[in-house]
Chains A and B, each alone.
Chain A
């Protein structure tokens, strides 16, 4: 580790690895001059599980369940990315019904993830009640997942060739009820947090990230879009029929904390809009193309990128023709989004650190893998 000359009135503090505001085990080293942050340095590795290496020992169908443990709030979308990469290698495409189910599940996941973020942002800024309001709708989404997929958080539902189970008979009814309730309740979100004077004071103009920084640091997802960078993989490289649905890529050019906050709320509305378009038009037919018991990809390299709730997730698989992958690499969104913390923290006050971390929406297991 590099050492830095510390002047007589500067000091170094550690935030974490078990700091309550970090939602995970991230250690931040902060150089401070009084209340001003001079520099910061994240230390990773506290929750490294070696998912990439573990995947090399498991078959193609088997390692997908591990990706749910990376970004646990976008478990469906991570599974989808792996399934799409394997389908690319097998040169098959999921049936139309399965594709629509995948998109529906992905958008529900995005809604659930943003709701948890919204609640946790309130917690970080000292407001406890938003957490409960956010969990009210999130609980409904998790119940829908539980009914169809069998689990609430780490579903392992999307598999190469389609999805594991058909939709639950109550699925359409429950999703419609959810959308109705969510639309009716969004004003509570504004009433409770958006207009709040404390949130406004702690987010407006704080934690500015320029578009140049966002691009050069590799930020994706809402963090980059709040700085005005067009980077939605669903628009740029459509997968699973995202080109057939209509939605808007929300952009904001301010790049501060409030822009990221506003953008995620708007993204929730877009997710609702996508679900509304698809929920009445789920095609009939097979939901799964049965693959062989042991899947073998032809030798080669396969890459698939998807848009998770936090940004771009890339899955890179190298196959040498055996039943296990030769190498699996995940390009995770949170790792690059974490880089944005350093330019944001430079010159900021230490009290603003928590709100910056909260609006970056970091998932630490996704950074370490």
Chain B
């Protein structure tokens, strides 16, 4: 008699716990406003991406095509993966002095882990992280970028 009681009790317990779980599911079925699912590729325009989100390294240029990078290579030394390569060139100033200048700021996006240590180390605050996150391309070569625009030069200190 006792075992039969146990048997039916287990069945009742099973159904009641199933019912409890289904109650919750049903609650969300009739409260669609509580559902948080985002339809990602469709909501691209309204997508909220925080300002600090580390998407990729960029070298901002102002309207005169000038940037802040002096080519000191501190970011290159601080990068743990070797995803930054700074190529500098020697130029002669009008006074006749030889000076180092940024030639190419090469950024290997495929090697970058977005740790942000280059931005942290930069003494000029020349580079920063942009919010772009859709990086997929069909050719691996496109992941190697030159960040300084052609013809750009160092922003002079005086304004």
Contacts and interface: CB of A to CB of B under 8 A. Distances in A.
Contacts of B117: 61-62, 65, 156
A195 B17 contact: yes
B74 interface: yes
B137 interface: no
Interface in B11-55: 13-14, 17-18, 20-21, 23-25, 36, 50-54
Interface stretch (A146-154, A206-214, A251-259, A340-348): A146-154
B147 to A, nearest CB: 19
Interface in A158-174: 159, 164-165, 168
Contacts of B50: 143, 146-147, 150, 168
Interface in A256-304: 293
A10 interface: no
Contacts of B114: 150-151, 154
Contact of A146 (B13, B53, B80): B53
Contacts of A61: 78, 117
B21 A293 contact: no
A72 B96 CA distance: 54
B120 interface: yes
Contacts of A59: 78
Contacts of A193: 21
Contact of B23 (A139, A154, A191): A191
A56 to B, nearest CB: 13
A150 B78 contact: no
Interface string A187-213: 010011101111000000000000000
Nearest to A63: B80
A129 B24 CA distance: 10
Nearest to A144: B50
Interface string B111-149: 001111100110000000100000000000000000000
A245 interface: no
Given A65-B80, A293-B121, A164 B116 contact: yes
B25 A62 contact: no
Contacts of B115: 65, 154, 156
A139 B36 contact: yes
Nearest to A69: B113
Contacts of A164: 116, 120
B54 A151 contact: yes
A150 B53 contact: yes
A58 interface: yes
Contact of A191 (B21, B36, B53): B21
A258 to B, nearest CB: 15
B14 A197 contact: yes
A198 B14 CA distance: 8
Interface string A45-74: 000000000000011011101100000000
B80 A62 contact: yes
20 contacts: A58-B80, A59-B78, A61-B78, A136-B36, A139-B36, A146-B53, A147-B50, A150-B53, A150-B114, A154-B113, A154-B115, A159-B120, A168-B52, A191-B20, A191-B24, A192-B20, A196-B21, A197-B13, A198-B17, A293-B121
Interface of A: 58-59, 61-63, 65-66, 129, 136, 139, 143, 146-151, 154, 156, 159, 164-165, 168, 188, 191-193, 195-198, 293
Interface of B: 10, 13-14, 17-18, 20-21, 23-25, 36, 50-54, 74, 78, 80, 113-117, 120-121, 129
Given A168-B50, A192-B24, A197-B14, 16 more contacts: A58-B80, A61-B117, A62-B117, A65-B80, A129-B21, A147-B50, A147-B51, A150-B53, A150-B54, A150-B116, A156-B116, A159-B120, A188-B24, A192-B20, A196-B21, A293-B78
10 A-B pairs closest in CB distance? A65-B115, A150-B54, A147-B50, A62-B80, A156-B115, A150-B52, A197-B17, A197-B14, A196-B17, A146-B50
